[in-house]
Chain A
Amino acid sequence: MSDGNILEIHHLSKTFGKNVVLRDIDFSVKPKDVTCIIGASGSGKSTLLRCVNLLETPTSGQILYHETDITDRKMNAAAYRAKVGMVFQNFNLFSNMTVLDNCMVGQVKVLKKDKAEARKNAMMYLEKVNMAPYINAKPRQLSGGQKQRVAIARALAMEPELLLFDEPTSALDPQMVGEVLSVMRALAKEGLTMIIVTHEMAFARDVSSHVVFMADGVIEEEGKPEQIFENPQNQRTKEFLSRFRQG
């Protein structure tokens, strides 16, 4: 066991019925790592991320968070999730709350902060994602890109140690993709530890410190972005990337 890792995944497997979706996954995340997970549709990227956040229960294997196995039944999943945030493809904002309340509710209810402090904190992160003017809006009144930026602020307001993104730009029109990616670039630059599932190859190459390529539920290849994108060793990685280049 190497020291200083936030997250270590050992021999993680997940099956749905007879369908083996993840097999023997191993990888680890150090502070300030930006890990991008790429791979074809159906290769298990979302499932892996959902296992890390315990939205799915792994079938076998270990997920160590600061050397504590979170797959242990006695683990308090809610307390763990408060430290590991997640941003979803479909935003999943609370539609009964304003933008500001979306960013405050977790701080008040989960972290038990008082309202004034939660509000100040929420405003800080909403400013960071350029959504401060919209605090009184309800999610249904926002565009997709705006919703996703609010969802990022909501996750940041919990001050997570690790933030997971599952295809945060896949549900967005092309002109909105840029605004979300630029927010994420800024976060990477500030040293936030992130795991990002994405189909935006140029973005993955730019921001990541580590790239994981998945196919059929296994990690086929991983390494530095230059290595994966410029000099892939694995046949399937080569095929996947060449398909991407062709468009």
Chain B
Amino acid sequence: MSLPQDFMGRIGYLLSMYGESFLVGAGKTMVIALVGTLIGCLIGFAVGIVQTIPVSKEDHIIKRILLWIVKLILNIYVEVFRGTPMMAQAMFIFFGASAVFHYNMSTWFAAFFIVSINTGAYMSETVRGGILSIDPGQTEGAMAIGMTHVQTMMNVILPQALRNIMPQIGNNLIINIKDTCVLSIIGVVELFYTTKGVAGAMYTYFEAFAITMVIYFILTFTCSRILRFWESKLDGPDNYDLATTDTLAHTSGMYRYPDPRKGEDA
């Protein structure tokens, strides 16, 4: 079978010849993006939680100094990884590890590591903002019934912060799906790398990247829809049952309230 002359024909040809490679590349891109986002979120929560630990003058001096040092290190981490391009980080870490530590990372490990640590830096700020955005009154409400800082965080603040930053997590996932393409520079065989190979072999750059554009878009669009759906699930129902032992009253006991958040999204 030889290379057809028209655009659609070439697309069909590439798909029949390299369809599987595209799928594998897309799969790898998704795995790196999902794992990187997940680990990045965990890093982000850890850093954000530490950065919002309250310190008061009554605390022990050693605790205050330790916290100050830890917060300083975390700040440096956040600023450095937010302030440099991921492509440069990939080169720096991948080649740095082998030059300085004589550690040859697998490209696969490097991919997870770089995306996670980069996402972590962004998510730290998001989580910190999410925690600070919760009305401090709720913290006082929790303190007033004797809850400790940890209990307050786990039961009151973090669940709300998580809900509030869901759109940001989704955003990060979508950015990561697209940005994994920079990892091709250290030889990670994801979608972009695969496409370059296919395009170069047949000299069909336009057609190959047309296919890849569509694949990237399908991946990001599907993820953003799924996340939207998940968010609306998290909000719970707009109405509640009036709990009553009087069965007659029960039937008239459905109350519907407009959700103030809904309006902003639309």
Q: Which residues of A contact B (CB under 8 A)?
A: 53, 55, 57, 73, 77-83, 85-86, 88, 90-98, 105-106, 109-111, 132-138, 140-141, 151, 154-155, 158
* Residues in chain B near residue A109, CB distance under 8 A: 147, 151, 155
Residue interface bits B222-240, CB-to-A below 8 A is 1, else 0: 0000000000000010011
Contact of A96 with B163 in the complex, beta carbons under 8 Å: yes
Instruction: Indicate whether B255 reaches chain A with its CB closer than 8 angstroms.
Output: yes
Which DSSP category, helix, strand, loop or mixed, fits chain B's interface? mixed
- Which single member of B146, B148, B160, B255 contacts A141 (CB below 8 Å)? B255
Residue of A nearest to B148 (CB): A78
- Which single member of B58, B146, B239, B257 contacts A158 (CB below 8 Å)? B146
Contact of A88 with B160 in the complex, beta carbons under 8 Å: no
From B159, B240, B242, B244, name the one whose CB has the most chain A CB atoms within 10 angstroms.
Answer: B240
A85 to chain B, nearest CB (A): 6
- Which single member of A98, A106, A135, A151 contacts B146 (CB below 8 Å)? A106
- Contact A94/B156 with A133-B242, A137-B240 known, Cβ cut-off 8 Å: yes
Contact of A94 with B142 in the complex, beta carbons under 8 Å: yes
- Which single member of B58, B145, B151, B155 contacts A154 (CB below 8 Å)? B145
* Residues in chain A near residue B159, CB distance under 8 A: 96
- Contact A136/B255 with A86-B144, A92-B137 known, Cβ cut-off 8 Å: no
Which DSSP category, helix, strand, loop or mixed, fits chain A's interface? loop
Of residues 6 to 33 in B, which have CB atoms within 8 Å of A's CB atoms?
A: none
Q: Which residues of B contact A (CB under 8 A)?
A: 56, 58, 135, 137-138, 140-148, 151, 155-156, 159-160, 163, 236, 239-244, 253, 255, 257, 260
Contact of A78 with B146 in the complex, beta carbons under 8 Å: yes
Complex Cα distance A136/B244, Å?
Answer: 11
A142 to chain B, nearest CB (A): 9
Give 16 A-B contacts (CB < 8 Å), ordered by A residue.
Answer: A55-B144, A78-B143, A82-B145, A92-B135, A92-B137, A92-B141, A94-B142, A105-B145, A105-B147, A106-B147, A110-B145, A133-B243, A135-B243, A136-B243, A141-B240, A151-B141
Residue of B nearest to A73 (CB): B58
Contact of B144 with A155 in the complex, beta carbons under 8 Å: yes
* Residues in chain B near residue A95, CB distance under 8 A: 138, 160
Residue of B nearest to A87 (CB): B144
Complex Cα distance A57/B58, Å?
Answer: 9
A105 to chain B, nearest CB (A): 6
* Residues in chain A near residue B160, CB distance under 8 A: 95-96
* Residues in chain B near residue A110, CB distance under 8 A: 145-147, 151
Complex Cα distance A96/B257, Å?
Answer: 16
> What 6 pairs across the A-B complex have the smallest Cβ distances?
A82-B146, A92-B141, A106-B145, A86-B144, A92-B137, A110-B146
* Residues in chain A near residue B257, CB distance under 8 A: 140-141
* Residues in chain A near residue B145, CB distance under 8 A: 81-82, 85, 105-106, 110, 154-155, 158
A12 to chain B, nearest CB (A): 17
Residue of A nearest to B238 (CB): A141
B157 to chain A, nearest CB (A): 9
